[in-house]
Amino acid sequence: MRIRTNLSLYAALLLSASFISTQSVLADDKKNKLDNIEHIVVIYQENWSFDSLYGLFPGANGLFQSSAVSLTQRDRLTGQPYSSQLGNPFDLVSGSVSLTTPPQPINNNVSPAVVDTRFDPNLNTLFFYNIVNHSTLQPSDKTGDIVHRFWHEQSQINHGKMNWFVTWSDNPGLVMSYFDATNLPEGQLAQQYTMDDNFFHAAFGGSFLNHQFFIAAAAPVYPNAPASLQATLDSTGQLALDPTTHKIVHDGTITPIGGTSFSLPNRTFDKNYAINTIFSVNLVPTFLLRRMGQRLGQHCHQFGKQRDRSPEPAGRSALPVAPPAVCVLRQLRSVGKRPAQSGFRRSPAG
């Protein structure tokens, strides 16, 4: 089982290796080998794992190379394999749909969300399965969505065991599903070039933070973030669960200062990093904060500190645009002559 998140199909190795060392790109005649390359193309396939599209790609490290540990999905509450709980109620980590084990796929494209009856009723969702072969879905149909957020994924990976993907998902019956995209247009293109089957994204969660890391290798910071935007974590660094309902107490878009890191034990977050999708004018690059410290223009900060909304698209229109943009440009110019190179290597504890 491989991580269900962002995927870069082509040129990822080339892009990363090309800038590591000047000597590595020089031919015997001392000419730069990169001079023969006109374009480097990176296809950013958002919110899909490699295996969920190319797990059957010929010669790839795919579905059938999954470890026995990862294929034994376990209950986050008891630690027991779900295969020993067949027919029992399934403890969904969020949402209110009633499921039994193995969990049925959920259609959350409708409100309220319901069990997706387009899938085979006796489907074993604890093992990987081809959606096309086990549903009545048509090419124009949509499956339900699957959570892909910062803390969820860390728990799902479970320090490399990869055995909590089902238990920490809001749509556990879809976690092990896949499409065979080998002969779809993108797959055919990959057959002509390079398929990077061992590429791993830079940051936990969804597209928002990975976009930041793709360009700057750093997470943006939200100075003095409201408590309502910060996640509630337990002592291990995972999202805290209600002791009665066993559901997530409060997920958030911002890391709490002093909060424990689950992926790096004994480490804590030193800043309010923005790690899940958020539309806010308060976000500033880490290197700007380090260079400028508390001199960050307070007048710029005032434009947006009371105007933040939830990450839902409906909240976007409430955010001011022009004044904060001017402020950001002003701050960039003030540090442009002395860039903090080390800032691009900084990452949050998660």
pLDDT by residue (tens digit) across 97-152? 999 999 999 999 999 999 999 999 999 999 999 999 999 999 899 999 999 999 99
Mean pLDDT score, 291-296: 47
**Segment among 18-22, 81-85, 133-137 with least mean pLDDT:** 18-22
pLDDT in tens, 191-202: 998 888 888 888
Residue 260 has pLDDT above 90, yes or no: yes
Query: Which range among 22-26, 33-37, 97-101, 241-245 shows the weakest confidence by mean pLDDT?
Result: 22-26
The per-residue pLDDT for range 32-53, each reduced to its tens digit, is: 877 888 888 776 677 788 999 9
In the structure, what pLDDT confidence band is assigned to residue 216 with cuts at 50, 70 and 90?
Answer: confident
Region of 258 on the Ramachandran plot (φ > 0 left; ψ -120 to 50 alpha; else beta): left
Task: Give pLDDT, residue 28.
Answer: 66
Q: What is the pTM of this model?
A: 0.74
d(CA 183, CA 191): 9
Q: Which residue in 78, 118, 112 sits closest to 96, CA to CA?
A: 112
DSSP structure string for 89-105: BP--SSS----BSSPPP
Residues 6+ apart with CB under 8 A from 338: 291
Q: Of 145, 167, 174, nearest to 241 (Cα)?
A: 167
Q: Above 50 in pLDDT, residue 5?
A: no
Confidence of residue 308 (pLDDT cuts 50, 70, 90): very low
Query: How remote is the C-alpha of 184 from its chain's centroid?
Result: 24
What's the rounded Cα separation, in Å, for the pair 224 and 277? 18
